[in-house]
Amino acid sequence: MTLPCNVRGLGRGGGRLLGSGTLAVAAACAVTLTSSPAGATGMQGHMYVTEMAVRSLPPGELRTLLDSRRDLWLDGSFLPDSGYAANDAYGEMAHWEQFVEAYINWIRSSFSPPFTSGAAADHVAVLMGAASHGMLDQTFDTLLVDRAAELGDDTSELDTGIDAWIVNDLGRKENPPIVVDTQGISQVFATGFGYDVSPDTIMSGLNTAKQAIGAVITLLAKNDQVFRDASPWAVTHYLDAGTPGSYPYSVPVVAGYMENIWRRLQGDHAMNRAIIGTWPNDGAADVPVDHASVSSFVTLFSGHGLVPGSVTSDSAFVQDAEGNRVPCEVRTRGDDWAGMIQLRPQADWAYHATYRVTLTSGIASLYGEHLASPFTLQFTTACAPGDEASCATAQGGGEGGCAISQARGSGAGGWWPVAAAAAVWVAARRRREGAQNADGREGRPSKRA
């Protein structure tokens, strides 16, 4: 594709640095920049989803403290990718559950609860932004990017492209001042990982990321058609609430993650609200049957880091209507702790059949807690080709699915009009090859998005 300055992306080790478009912008601005690997959503997108998630939170202490700390959670929303900009390993670390837990522990050891004012609340805001980033990367990469690639989109520049689209589709031009206490963040890495990164390095990464954000706004957004042409499915679905992994799909998942983290900060480790989003959702109909497609996989997101070894075919499984277990490959994604569970059927689902998904109390969190009761959901697959009429009657119609927490009456209405408006702007996507460890886990050290 033709981009300003005609600068291409670079590779680093096993992963990719910035999408070529952002590199091009960086070159145009004389910014020396590395950035998130291809396959991720961009920094403007992360800020956007964090904002929508904050706006969807119910009234309460968390909502109140976040409402007055917008710049802090906006900064936190690109803190993880700033590590790539600084060419420092802290960026990769900050994408995952270990960082979230390290940050929780550092706040709890540095301040007194309830962490609703002063510097403690400031750090809570940054934590929520960073956690939003990590969870959005999981939902978006796992569901939307993979589907886009299946459908033929070029997903290699999708992170950059989406940020350019947002500027034009939603009029978003966020480029907040850097107000993060990098001294504190440095201590989180020291205490949580035994990793030494200076406050100045983090500040440098944040400032470089900020320059890139500005360059996308002022330069690359003018050329966003290049990215629309490369990813025609993604551009027409990334704001579609009915598309798994889209921004509106991800907002309630991120909000649910924030609420779990807030409870964890208060020392509440109960798992009763740990599952924050699924695909398909409970009661979904018309689920595709193709066992090789991500649209047919059962995917669940957790607001608590899970012990990967506790997620097995005994604790996470699918049964047919007769109660027979359906052979599925069980995958998790994360670092030492998993934030996502995915069940991939080894053969196509049957047409117009009902399946039940169960997570048992065998699944454990990093705190050693277990699901208080089994988590279940049920879905029905699509009709066989040619049998749609009778099938539709039998199924009574239904949506393809959405995050379970969308059902909450928690004031998410502030978001949905935006999505509807965006859908007008954006007519009807990418995949990142999720590297997989030998034990079926995805995540470090092979990639990040």
Using CB under 5 A, list all residues that contact Zn ion: 36, 40, 80-81, 137
Sequence letter at residue 431: R
Pick between residue 134 and residue 277 the one whose CB is nearest to Zn ion. Answer: 134
Pick between residue 18 and residue 412 the one whose CB is nearest to Zn ion. Answer: 18
Least distance from Zn ion to the Cβ atom of residue 352, Å: 39
Pick between residue 38 and residue 412 the one whose CB is nearest to Zn ion. Answer: 38
Least distance from Zn ion to the Cβ atom of residue 159, Å: 8
CA atoms within 13 A on the CB side of 318: 28
Pick between residue 141 and residue 240 the one whose CB is nearest to Zn ion. Answer: 141
Least distance from Zn ion to the Cβ atom of residue 158, Å: 12
Least distance from Zn ion to the Cβ atom of residue 94, Å: 9
Least distance from Zn ion to the Cβ atom of residue 42, Å: 9
- Per residue, the 3-state secondary structure of the chain, as one string, reads CCCHHHCCCCEECCEECCCHHHHHHHHHCCCCCCCCCCCCCCHHHHHHHHHHHHHHCCCCHHHHHHHCCHHHHHHHHHHHHHHHHCCCCHHHHCCCHHHHHHHHHHHHHHCCCCCCCHHHHHHHHHHHHHHHHHHHHHHHHHHHHHHHHHCCCCCCCHHHHHHHHHHHHCCCCCCCCCCCCHHHHHHHHHHHHCCCCCHHHHHHHHHHHHHHHHHHHHCHHHHHHHHHHHCHHHHCCCCCCCCCCCHHHHHHHHHHHHHHHHHHHCCCCCCCCCEEEEECCCCEEEECCCCCCHHHCEEEEEEEEECHHHCCCCCEEEECCCCCECCEEEEEEECCCEEEEEEEECCCCCCCCEEEEEECCCCEECCCCECCCCEEEEEEECCCCCCHHHHHHHHCCCCCCCCHHHHCCCCHHHCHHHHHHHHHHCCCCCCCCCCECCCCEEECCCCCC
Instruction: Please state, in angstroms and rounded to a whole number, the distance separating the CA atoms of residues 116 and 129.
Output: 16
Pick between residue 352 and residue 432 the one whose CB is nearest to Zn ion. Answer: 432
Least distance from Zn ion to the Cβ atom of residue 83, Å: 9
Pick between residue 81 and residue 174 the one whose CB is nearest to Zn ion. Answer: 81
Pick between residue 46 and residue 352 the one whose CB is nearest to Zn ion. Answer: 46
Pick between residue 99 and residue 249 the one whose CB is nearest to Zn ion. Answer: 99
Pick between residue 40 and residue 330 the one whose CB is nearest to Zn ion. Answer: 40
Least distance from Zn ion to the Cβ atom of residue 138, Å: 10
Least distance from Zn ion to the Cβ atom of residue 155, Å: 15
**Closest to 371 in 3D by CA, of 323, 312, 317, 306:** 306
**Closest to 440 in 3D by CA, of 304, 345, 341:** 341
Least distance from Zn ion to the Cβ atom of residue 40, Å: 4
Least distance from Zn ion to the Cβ atom of residue 342, Å: 19
Instruction: Please state, in angstroms and rounded to a whole number, the distance separating the CA atoms of residues 71 and 177.
Output: 7
Least distance from Zn ion to the Cβ atom of residue 412, Å: 24
Pick between residue 40 and residue 294 the one whose CB is nearest to Zn ion. Answer: 40
CA atoms within 13 A on the CB side of 207: 9
Pick between residue 40 and residue 391 the one whose CB is nearest to Zn ion. Answer: 40
